Amino acid sequence: MADDKRLKTLAPFLQVQGFVWGPEPEIYGGLAGFYTYGPNGTLLKRRIEKRIRDVFAKHEFFEVETPTVLPKPVWEASGHLGGFTDPLIKDAKGNVYRADHLLEEYYEKHNITEPVPLKADELSKALKSYDIKSPAGEVLVGGVIEHNLMMRTTIGTEHEAYNRPETATATYLPFLRYAEHFRKKLPFGVFQIGKAYRNEISPRQHLVRMREFTQAEAQLFIDPAKKDGHRGYEEKKDVTLPVLSWKAQEQGKPFSFMKLSELREQHLGSDVYAYGLALAYELFLSFGIPSSSMRVRQHGPDEKAFYAADAWDVEVNLPTFGWTEMCGVHDRTDYDLTQHAKHSGKDQTVFVEEHGAHITPHVLEIAFGVDRPVYALLDLFYDEKDEAEGKTTLKLPYALAPVHVAVLPLVKKLSEPAQNIYQTLLSTGITVVYDESGAIGKRYLRASTIGTPYCVTVDYDTLEDNAVTVRDRDTEAQERVPVAELVAYIQNKLG
């Protein structure tokens, strides 16, 4: 259930504390769907991106970087020019809205559990049957139309091109180069993190729905004859996931926890797909999102893309927006490589010795917007219960906090030893700030407000015992630590 009141509190907090500014450009009135990450927001986002890189690298995916603008023929081949659309409808005053969002909000408000139609004519009928009006109370006019989300540009003076709406298409194009690089041995995996652009009509969910955003996508190219018996599945088959199958959705049941082996047997089409789903879940756990706030949800027959053999989403239950899609895991079969072979005229197969023939690999895809887990962390761990007393705390997972340590001299006279400690911590790669302004209690509060897990206080005793007091953000416990052991102490605490 969406909580508009919380968002109205959270968004200003993120602005004031240097996490997210906008919509941008603010001095020109702002344009929905464009945001600037402030210093704290950028640090948090970079930590998320590092986790992405670490997890994918551990599973032998290699990072690539491709162009963000590609010519028209690429998008014709991928199907984006013809089918990458949103269903829109106007009200009597000419305002434009996402038709499916209006219906979703109506269903949520009236506890209607039936699925939202995907086709334009069916959406039009549903909006009319429930006599749904615009958020401003205006009558909806005309029918639902399909709006293409591609952002068009021109290369040089005459070449029609488009900003990529996702990173995957650009990732597929160098397939033949990958095959050479990996010595034509399947499977092999690549991933990239980069900007994508979608011409959304009415983005209204802060970082969750943007016109310019950062996306991360991983592709595993695999022999279609070896989708079972994948070693990654064997390593993860005992992992427990929160599962919401299509059948459970039809019956109005909540998610339930299942071992991956059970899920594979009952609902999934291959071992390699089960591995991909578990990997995506592991990734979001690594961001510090609790399993109690997550589920993996199966796409129904009408929701799944026609070329997908399997499709599930990782969803997070956000305090502001309720259950929200974070990540899609898709078995895309050979659709993309076949399409690009057809339209480019370039063969997209690889010779496999044990088959004695060329084959077109299948692709397992894990795709998500990086901004969404960033927002999820900010939403989930924003603690406003003491806001009336000025004690709002951002209880982010310690290692992901933008700033790890605040060094605080008890009084300004102690600035020299405090600065020495600050510089020592800074040289180790720990993110640290120095703060000597105001009463010590106010400085503790400033640190906890942006999620800083540890405050290091330098006091007069430091001059005698060469030790400092380390204060824990959540427990408020204080521990005396020798300066010589401080770096190791902090690094151990942060894991």
Q: Under 8 Å CB-to-CB from 32, ≥6 apart: which residues?
A: 23, 200, 202, 203, 204, 211
State the CATH architecture for 85-148.
2-Layer Sandwich (3.30)
* In the predicted structure, residue 442 carries a pLDDT above the cut 60: yes
Give the confidence band of 315 by pLDDT, cuts at 50, 70, 90: very high
Q: 89, 97 in Cβ contact below 8 A?
A: yes
User: Once rounded to an integer, what is the mean pLDDT over residues 358-373?
Assistant: 97
Q: 271, 222 in Cβ contact below 8 A?
A: no
Through-space distance between the first and last CA atoms of the chain, rounded to whole angstroms: 35
238-292 tens-digit pLDDT:
999 999 999 999 888 899 999 999 999 999 999 999 999 999 999 999 999 999 9
Q: Say what the pLDDT of residue 389 is.
A: 60
Indicate the DSSP class of residue 138.
Answer: P
* In the predicted structure, residue 388 carries a pLDDT above the cut 70: no
| Mean predicted lDDT score pLDDT of the chain | 93
* CA dist., res. 53 & res. 255, Å (int): 29
Q: Say what the pLDDT of residue 245 is.
A: 94
User: Once rounded to an integer, what is the mean pLDDT over residues 372-389?
Assistant: 84
DSSP 115-137: PPP-SHHHHHHHHHHTT-B-TTS
User: Once rounded to an integer, what is the mean pLDDT over residues 464-487?
Assistant: 96
| Class of 403-494 in CATH | alpha beta
Q: 122, 143 in Cβ contact below 8 A?
A: no
* % pLDDT > 90, the chain: 78
* In the predicted structure, residue 35 carries a pLDDT above the cut 90: yes
Strand extents, DSSP E, 268-349: 294-298, 310-318, 322-331
* In the predicted structure, residue 385 carries a pLDDT above the cut 70: no
User: Once rounded to an integer, what is the mean pLDDT over residues 154-180?
Assistant: 95
What sign does the CA torsion over 207, 212, 214, 216 have? positive
Task: Give the global pTM.
Answer: 0.91
User: Once rounded to an integer, what is the mean pLDDT over residues 303-332?
Assistant: 93
Judged by DSSP in three states, 399 sits in helix
The CATH number fitting domain 4-74+161-379, selected from 3.30.930.10, 3.40.640.10, 3.30.70.920, 3.40.50.300 = 3.30.930.10
Q: Say what the pLDDT of residue 108 is.
A: 82
Q: Say what the pLDDT of residue 384 is.
A: 76
123-141 tens-digit pLDDT:
999 999 899 998 888 899 8
Burial 483-493 (b: 16+ CB within 10 A, else e): beebbebbeee
* In the predicted structure, residue 379 carries a pLDDT above the cut 90: yes
CA 24 to chain centre: 21
The larger pLDDT score, comparing residue 476 to residue 495, is at 476
CA R_g for the chain:
25
192-245 tens-digit pLDDT:
999 999 998 878 899 999 999 999 999 999 999 999 999 999 999 999 999 999
Indicate the DSSP class of residue 345.
Answer: -
* CA dist., res. 6 & res. 379, Å (int): 9
* In the predicted structure, residue 390 carries a pLDDT above the cut 70: no
Q: Under 8 Å CB-to-CB from 472, ≥6 apart: which residues?
A: 453, 454, 478, 479
* CA dist., res. 468 & res. 462, Å (int): 6
Instruction: Indicate the domain borders of the chain.
Output: 4-74+161-379, 85-148, 403-494
* CA dist., res. 48 & res. 34, Å (int): 20
What burial class does residue 404 get, using C-beta atoms within 10 Å of its C-beta: 0-12 exposed, 13-18 middle, 19+ buried? buried
Distances from the Cα of 454 to the Cα of 55, 168, 444, 473, angstroms: 26, 40, 9, 6
User: Once rounded to an integer, what is the mean pLDDT over residues 165-190?
Assistant: 96
Q: Say what the pLDDT of residue 1 is.
A: 55
What burial class does residue 263 get, using C-beta atoms within 10 Å of its C-beta: 0-12 exposed, 13-18 middle, 19+ buried? buried
Give the confidence band of 306 by pLDDT, cuts at 50, 70, 90: confident
Q: H or E stretch including 229?
A: none
User: Once rounded to an integer, what is the mean pLDDT over residues 331-358?
Assistant: 94
What sign does the CA torsion over 131, 135, 140, 146 have? negative
Q: Say what the pLDDT of residue 251 is.
A: 85
392-409 tens-digit pLDDT:
789 999 999 999 999 999
- Report the candidate in 438, 432, 404 with the shortest Cα–Cα distance to residue 419: 432
Q: Say what the pLDDT of residue 386 is.
A: 56
Q: Find the range with the poorest average confidence among 36-45, 317-326, 367-376, 381-390.
A: 381-390
Q: 303, 67 in Cβ contact below 8 A?
A: no
